[in-house]
Amino acid sequence: MNCVKCGKEIPEGTKICPECAAGLFAQKKAPEIPPVSTGDWFVTLLLTCIPLVGFIMLFVWAFGGGANPSKRNWARASLIWMLIGIVPLAILGVVVFAGAAGMRTF
């Protein structure tokens, strides 16, 4: 096996590179995660267009364990944008309701 840091050959069973002293943690590469395909994004966007199903699927992709990291991050960002949109809408609803309740008819 070659050292990831310096490229020199490391003998089997060695935990530290004899040349640069990089530890074993530096020798392990992160597993490759395949990119999300265009077809998968198409199905993802199609599912999110269905009102209740899309909302549930965003939670599944955001907090479930099996989603691709890029899809997980996208789902979390979408949920944050939904929350940002719901707060002003709720405030507007309270103002309109209070205005309607305060109207008097003569």
The pTM assigned to this predicted structure is 0.61
Q: Residues 33-53: what's their mean pLDDT?
A: 93
Q: Among residues of the chain, what percentage have pLDDT more than 70?
A: 88
Q: How many CB atoms lie within 10 A of CB 19?
A: 13
* Rounded Cα gap, residues 98 and 5, in angstroms: 65
Mean pLDDT, the chain, whole residue set? 85
20 dihedral zone (left: phi>0; alpha: psi -120 to 50; beta): alpha
pLDDT, tens only, 45-65: 999 999 999 999 999 999 998
Residue 73 to residue 36: CA distance in whole angstroms: 12
pLDDT of residue 36 exceeding 80: yes
